[in-house]
A and B are shown apart, each in its own frame.
Chain A
Amino acid sequence: MRSNLHDGSTAVRGLRQSMAWIHAWLGLLAGWILFAMFLTGTASYFRPEITRWMQPELRPAHASAVQAAQAAINHLQATSPGDQQWFIYLPDDRTAVTRVFARAKPDPAKPAPRRPELKLDPITGQPLEARDTRGGEHFYRFHFQLQLPHPWGRWLAGVCAIFMLAAIISGVITHKRIFADFFTLRWRKGQRSWLDAHNAPAVLALPFHAMITYTGLITLVAMYMPWPVQANFKQADDFTAAAYGRPAEGKASGQAAPLLPVGPMIQAAAQAWGGDPPRTIVIRNPNDAAATVTVLRTTASRLNARPDSITFSGATGQPLSKSPAPGPAISTAGVLLGLHLGHFASPALRWAGFFLGLIGAAMVGTGLVLWVVKRRKPNAPPFFGLRLVERLNIGAVACLPAGMAAFLLANRLIPADLPNRAVLEVSAMFWVWFGLAVVSLLRPVRRAWIETLGLSALAFAAIPVVNAVSTDRGLFNSLVAGDWLFVSFDLAMLVVAAFCGVGALVASRKPPASPPPPKVMVRKRKPAPVREHADAV
């Protein structure tokens, strides 16, 4: 612990130094997890696209919302007309299939097992068969659940987000030359360069970092801080009803009545929403006189990610109710969530978000490296903490990309009909990630950086090759067919491979002045006292 009491300098300087200390340690403790959250979160901007790539058997078929909804209902009528509830997730520009989930009537004598979600052809309504995979959902879930049991993953992600927010604020206060060095990036100058490489992505994309961190934290705030709701509402349901309106929960009348076609209801809803298409349709008690059809609006064109909805009677087709106009607090929460998810973004803006996410990852990664670079003494052996951090940095920054590539490669290499293959794909990511991190311990630090980054580059570069060999949707075929999703996916993998390759090249360059530390390890040496220079963080 350091005190800045006897610094003998002004209060501002003291503040900067304590902020630098906070910044370095918060950033270090959360940095490894934050890097993984940034990288998998960035990939999640393309959640439906990754899922589509991971099920190459499915070809996109375009159908209007009315057509897809009616086709799905026809299928459900043929298979399970007596259900309690049907959920129909309609296809849009980004998803190729209709997804349906049907819940049977509760039977106290024999509770039915939860049925799996089905994928249907949007045009014919017939079930589609494709390899079992978590798809883009895996990166998305890992990004805030960290593959830990509920609720620990979300809590850990929340703690890291708080640290990140504090690191952003303390970092800005610490940075003395924020405007003087605004456009500065100097190469091949050792520690100075690492500092620039940390500051430039941090400062130049600061609005994005602050936005994504704050909105991410706020998204789960009701879980992190449940007390305001508990203090004001007896039951969680009361809060939901007050905030979002009471859901349609009518009981079945027991009187049969045919379910009317949903086409006119969808059109009426679209008219009420200025032409916006529906995203989801929920049908309760189909084929009953009390049947309801709830149509939920798309969120693809608005910042607010909370969909409004209109509920119709399934027997008469008359509108019964619609979601209340959200109050200012609920609208704000919806917009903050929407900003984080980015569903509103056009493809070009989504790519912008993707690269901004990579810039965020670069900021965290260079920050982690900077922690080590600042504390390494040219003529002293590295102390234990330094070596530990250095190794964890390699594992977190250089090995994770290889793991993510392994997840995608496993999708193509594990036979499509192998049972439990979705779980195997996920295991592939963690075995490769952590396995590579362990194996890299056998190599000297600099070699470990070069080799793990090089392997990550190779793994990403292999994805288009393996895709071309294992499916008929390789780069050449996709180009000929004008299948831009597969074309961009392959190209994106090559770009990511290039990024990793550049990283390996940078790592392989000789450090400028300082000679490498001597090989002799002196154990039990006390760490050299480190001063956080405010102007150098």
Chain B
Amino acid sequence: MPYESGLLGYAAFASLALAMKKHADSLAWNALPPRPVLSVLGWALLALSATVAVVRLGPSLGITTWIGQICLAAPLLVLLLSWRPRLAAILAAAALVCAFPFMLL
């Protein structure tokens, strides 16, 4: 299973969440990129996460594995976001950083 696909999915959903005003506010960070940027980044990462899974496993198993992973990444993000929003955001950055070495393997 390509884990980087799930990590990218988590980062993608985090970007999309922070592109919404109420979730960005819960973070209370000034250094956050502008919301349109986060929105575009989120969709781009989501597409990348699907692409990686399909390239790794082919269309049928790839899409199955991708959907399985993002269906898990999103609830995990929402749990963290409701409990420790900053931790959720930091983990998203960490997931993004971790995903790239995986992709090069």
Contacts and interface: CB of A to CB of B under 8 A. Distances in A.
Contacts of B22: 184
A208 interface: yes
B37 interface: no
A64 to B, nearest CB: 25
A204 B72 CA distance: 8
Given A200-B75, A207-B71, A349 B82 contact: no
A195 to B, nearest CB: 14
A183 interface: yes
A344 interface: yes
Interface stretch (B28-36, B44-52, B60-68, B97-105): B60-68
Contacts of A182: 16-17
A185 B1 contact: no
Interface residues of B, number: 26
B11 to A, nearest CB: 14
Contacts of A344: 61, 64
Contacts of B77: 183
B78 interface: yes
A296 B43 CA distance: 43
Interface stretch (A228-236, A353-361, A384-392, A472-480): A353-361
A186 B82 CA distance: 7
Contact of B71 (A185, A187, A204, A339): A204
A76 interface: no
A346 B68 CA distance: 12
Nearest to B81: A183
Contacts of A205: 71-72, 74-75
B86 interface: no
Interface in B5-32: 6, 13, 16-17, 20, 22-23
Given A183-B23, A207-B67, A352 B72 contact: yes
The dominant DSSP class at the A interface is: helix
A454 interface: no
A207 B73 CA distance: 13
B1 A187 contact: no
A342 to B, nearest CB: 9
Interface of B: 1, 3, 6, 13, 16-17, 20, 22-23, 60-61, 64-65, 67-69, 71-72, 74-75, 77-79, 81-83
Given A183-B81, A344-B61, A352-B72, 12 more contacts: A182-B16, A183-B17, A185-B82, A187-B82, A200-B75, A205-B71, A205-B72, A205-B74, A348-B1, A349-B68, A355-B72, A356-B71
